Chain A
Amino acid sequence: MKVSIIGVATTKFGELWSVSPRALAHEAMSGALKDAGIENGRIQALFVGNMLSGMLGGQEHLGAFFAEELGFSHAAAIKIEGACASGGLAIHAAVSGILSGQYETVAVLGVEKMTDHKPEDVAAALMGAGSSQERASGCTFPGLYAILARVHMLKFGTTQEDMAAVAVKNHYHASLNPNAQFHRPITIEAVLKSHKVTDPLTLLDCSPISDGASALILSIKHQASSINIVASSVATDTLGLAERNNLTQLQATKEAAMRAYKQAGIEAKDIDVAEVHDCFTIAEILALEDLGITKKGDAAGGIRRGEFTLGSAKRVVVNPSGGLKGCGHPIGATGVKQVVELVEQLRGEAGKRQVKDARVGLAHNVGGSGATAVVHILKK
């Protein structure tokens, strides 16, 4: 398979209280169209990745909403929802639309506006991604990932310092990214000393609540600066943790990765740069293992030794954008932003956070506590 990414853009992520979802979408999409060098009349379909517009903002029907707003008059337009994987799923749907022969050139918009709402309302809305039993028991996502962390600690001896090293790496990368929510490097001690959210996870083990939008223009027609999507796969698992046999891995990630590597005809060792779903620090450890970048139980040590950090990486730099942890996590935008970051890396336009000679990139986007996993592989 081969679908070309001909334009990309993202807004700054963060607490953008004075910016509306419409303005965020405009900024991201006009940037992507400009980057592609095409007019919006060329867009045949718009795929919008978003999770919370209905629950928090009372506005569903985002396909038509943003098609009108962005001037894609009468284009096909669809909202895609898959919890925190909404952005990745929107790209998958767009790729499928092109490969089916239905569309030639399409736009993908990932957008989320979270900070205008009370934190407790946001936490409750996010639990829309969990199982009914998890909701009924009062669990929140930090709690669910804390369970995954505890199991990993018991089975592999993973420590809180190991998890803190993920936050330290990703905040360092974010400090080099002008569009990131956080620009201040942090230390292991600071992570350990920050407030407990759900033991063993502290505040600095958790990704923030953010606003932001990211956009891509995809086409079957290749351009000189195009980066190609060579694999797009989705896999699912049970919504709830209680129904799973193994809590030291996210099976959906493993399945999606296996399919993606097969589609692309590559192996994990061929990846130069990866944007993985680090909604909590433990999630990056799980991701590196489940994607096959390290063996099970080896990711934490590698991260602590700087093997995935810009400047000291052995073979693959992980989350050069800062990840969800440092760059911010506007739910629907995250999966799209990951691909924007990879395109900038593969083009060699990533500035201070440029991964040297990056030719193959992988984006990994997770919904819920691993009920949905989306993997995209990009090649120069």
Chain B
Amino acid sequence: MVGIVSYGTYIPKYRIRLGDIASAWKKQGEEVVSSLRVAEKAVPAADEDAVTIALEAALRALSSSGLNPESIEGLFVGSESHPYAVNPTSTIVGELLGIGNNYLATDLEFACKAATSGIQSLAGLIASGQMRYGMAIGADTAQSKPHDVLEYTSAAAGVAYIMGNKKPIAELLAYTSYSSDTPDFWRRDGVQYPSHAGRFTGEPAYFAHVMGSATRLFEKTKTQPSDYQYCVFHMPNGRFPRDAAKRLGFTDAQLAPSLVVDHIGNPYSASTMIGLSALLDIAKPGEKIFMVSYGSGAGSDGFVWKTTKELVKSQKFPRSGIQLRGTKVKSKDTVQDQIERKTYIDYVQYLKQTHKI
């Protein structure tokens, strides 16, 4: 059965507190934090972009898998901050990973759900026998205009998942997708920062699509919330996933371990899958995970995962001494490790690192 063979997460070490952003704009930090339910967000270093972040995550996924890089036959990179408008991220990452030339390189863009679209595409290609292993990456240095409300949550991070049908750590039991033309958030070509439609991003956008995909997934699998150990949703802020989980009938205990948004903000196309990584870091074999992503514009991809006994080995990483093109991969970093390893910066430094000044 097709599933996740391995995964890797990369969260840049820099953080800015939302209170510091609020102070810069003479807003009350406590109000912003309590409203968004996000305390701080991850910021890229000045020399990091979606390519370097994708690569960091990919190296971790690859080394964790123990696979030969050339066994990866498909590389899908989802981002809404691809460094080039024309010139793929996926081939740069593929080259640096050393996966050879016999692979399908694809860049994806669908706001915050590009990477989960990659997972579904790879699942189909693997199930049909077209390839043995494929890697889906979500990596972003999320853009936001200074003083826009997005500035409080737009974050940087990446996540990479290797999909295959041999010894998966989590099997993909079912998936759904729910899409419509709902322009709640967009960026025209050549425009530096995205626009959004305020409160319209809530009910008719995020909730309509997340609930639509989730409802279909329950119907398709004939399951209910109590059949799952965990759930994970796209996290544009701390409120939306909590609200979605509650509406669907999940408990706080099922949701809480995936809520990375509280500590790192919303790294757009990496958000949902970093939440999944946080769950796979702690899950036990035989547990079921209910996952729904969301991408503005709009669509939601739903997944049911079931962990296997292979997960235990994965959690016992590090494997020793894997070298990838001369880069020594360090021991496995859990999501929690990376959340905790941080250096705070102030607002001016944030503007510098994100090239706004």
List A residues at the B interface (Cβ < 8 Å).
15, 17-18, 115-116, 118-119, 195-196
Contact = CB atoms under 8 A, between A and B. Distances in A.
Interface string B18-60: 0000000000100100010000000000000000000000000
Nearest to A18: B204
B316 interface: no
B28 A17 contact: no
A15 to B, nearest CB: 7
B26 to A, nearest CB: 10
Interface in B192-243: 195-200, 203-204
Contact of A119 (B198, B203, B204): B198
A116 B28 CA distance: 28
Given A17-B204, A18-B204, A195 B31 contact: yes
B194 to A, nearest CB: 12
A17 B198 contact: no
Contacts of B28: 195-196
Given A118-B195, A196-B28, A17 B200 contact: yes
Contacts of A115: 199-200
Contacts of A15: 199-200, 203
A62 to B, nearest CB: 24
B321 to A, nearest CB: 54
B31 A196 contact: yes
A119 B195 CA distance: 12
B99 to A, nearest CB: 43
Contacts of B199: 15, 115, 119
Given A196-B28, A196-B31, A118 B204 contact: no
B239 to A, nearest CB: 14
Nearest to B204: A17
A196 B196 CA distance: 22
Contact of B203 (A17, A116, A195): A17
Contacts of A195: 28, 31, 35
Contact of B197 (A18, A118, A196): A118
Contacts of B195: 118
Interface in B175-197: 195-197
Contacts of B200: 15, 17, 115-116
Nearest to B199: A15
Contacts of B35: 195
Contacts of A196: 28, 31
A135 B197 CA distance: 23
22 contacts: A15-B199, A15-B200, A15-B203, A17-B200, A17-B203, A17-B204, A18-B204, A115-B199, A115-B200, A116-B197, A116-B200, A118-B195, A118-B196, A118-B197, A118-B198, A119-B198, A119-B199, A195-B28, A195-B31, A195-B35, A196-B28, A196-B31
The B interface is mostly helix, strand or loop, or mixed, namely helix
The A interface is mostly helix, strand or loop, or mixed, namely loop
A115 B204 CA distance: 12
Nearest to B205: A17
7 pairs of A and B residues whose beta carbons are closest in the complex: A119-B198, A17-B204, A195-B31, A118-B198, A17-B200, A118-B197, A15-B199
Given A15-B203, A119-B198, A195-B35, 9 more contacts: A15-B199, A17-B204, A18-B204, A116-B200, A118-B195, A119-B199, A195-B28, A195-B31, A196-B28
Nearest to B28: A196
Interface in B298-313: none
A123 to B, nearest CB: 11
Contacts of B196: 118
Interface string B63-107: 000000000000000000000000000000000000000000000
Nearest to B31: A195
A196 B197 CA distance: 22
A119 B200 CA distance: 10
A24 to B, nearest CB: 17
Nearest to B148: A120
Contacts of B204: 17-18
Contacts of B198: 118-119
A258 B35 CA distance: 45
A195 B22 CA distance: 13
A18 B196 CA distance: 17
* Most chain B CB neighbours (cut-off 10 Å) among A15, A17, A115: A17
A82 B105 CA distance: 59
B91 to A, nearest CB: 37
A13 B292 CA distance: 32
A116 B203 CA distance: 13
A115 B199 CA distance: 8
Contacts of A119: 198-199
A196 B35 CA distance: 12
* Most chain A CB neighbours (cut-off 10 Å) among B28, B196, B199: B199
A237 B216 CA distance: 58
Contacts of A116: 197, 200
Contacts of B203: 15, 17
Interface in B268-305: none
A59 B22 CA distance: 37
A196 B199 CA distance: 18
A116 B200 CA distance: 8
B183 to A, nearest CB: 11
A370 B8 CA distance: 61
Nearest to A194: B31
Interface in B148-197: 195-197
A206 to B, nearest CB: 14
A136 to B, nearest CB: 20
A146 B115 CA distance: 46
* Most chain A CB neighbours (cut-off 10 Å) among B31, B198, B204: B198
B195 to A, nearest CB: 7
Nearest to B195: A118
B212 to A, nearest CB: 14
Interface string B324-355: 00000000000000000000000000000000
